[in-house]
Amino acid sequence: MEFVSPEGLRLDGRRPTEMRQLRAEIGNVAKADGSAVFEMGNTKVIAAVYGPREVRCEYSMANFSTGDRMRKPKGDRRSTEISLVIRQTMEACILTHLMPRSQIDIFVQVLQADGGTRSACINAATLALQDAGIPMRDIVTSCSAGYLNSTPLLDLNYVEDSAGGPDVTVGLRLLSCGTYGYTLGPMD
């Protein structure tokens, strides 16, 4: 399938190094300490930050406390992986030593997925953390890129992402100009 036309246009009419339309809103969730909605094209993600607050004892329902015996379902692997990636990225930037014995909860909800959800999640989480006023040493932004039809492409949408070519999501720290690169997806 042709992802880049001979004139150099992608399936949605973009140039290879062109990003999708970005839109962001902060402060949507009034009750959260910080929140943000981030859109990259059709991918729409909302993030809410609660904290810093006291670490509460975790309490989980015992398996037998409801009528039927229900084992706690494991989050599917992909969401667990994305949560881990976001956590590692944010942990590196938040000045956690200023808030000992506290917990910061970042909740991210994907409203619509059209490729680049990891990046949208990181961007939304960054905005939400800033809206919450959490002390950070840097700002992280993120975007994905891939390689199809011998052309490097920026900001893949779902069709390009599922084409089977290699892709990478990069988290970039703005102020210190360091890069956290996460290679994800098979690099053929």
Partner 1 sequence: MVGLSEGEQEFIKGGIAQDLRSDGRKRYTYRPIYVETGVIPQANGSARVRMGSTDVIASVKAELGRPSAMQPDKGKVAIFVDCSPTAEPTFEGRGGEELSAELSSALQHCLLGGKSGAGAGIDLSSLVVVEGKVCWDLYIDGLVISSDGNLLDALGAAIKAALSNTGIPSVHVAAEAASDEQPEVDISDEEFLQFDTSGVPVITTLTKVGKHYIVDATLEEESQMSSAVSISINRQGHICGMIKRGGVGLDPSVILDMISVANFVSRQLMDKLDSEIAAADADEDES
Residues of the shown chain interacting with partner 1 in the complex, contacts defined by CB under 8 A: 28-32, 35, 42, 44, 46-48, 50, 60-61, 72, 105, 107-109, 111-112, 114
DSSP character at residue 176: T
Q: Under 8 Å CB-to-CB from 175, ≥6 apart: which residues?
A: 137, 138, 139
Minimum CB separation of residue 31 from partner 1 in Å reads: 6
Q: Buried (b) or exposed (e) across 45-63, using 16+ Cβ within 10 A?
A: bbbbbbbbeeeeeeeeeee
Minimum CB separation of residue 69 from partner 1 in Å reads: 14
Q: Which amino acid is at 36?
A: A
Minimum CB separation of residue 66 from partner 1 in Å reads: 10
26 by Cβ neighbours in 10 Å (0-12 / 13-18 / 19+) ranks as middle
Minimum CB separation of residue 112 from partner 1 in Å reads: 5
Please, which residue, 31 or 77, has the CB nearer to partner 1? Answer: 31
What are the tokens at 45?
């993600």
Please, which residue, 103 or 183, has the CB nearer to partner 1? Answer: 103
Please, which residue, 4 or 114, has the CB nearer to partner 1? Answer: 114
Please, which residue, 17 or 25, has the CB nearer to partner 1? Answer: 25
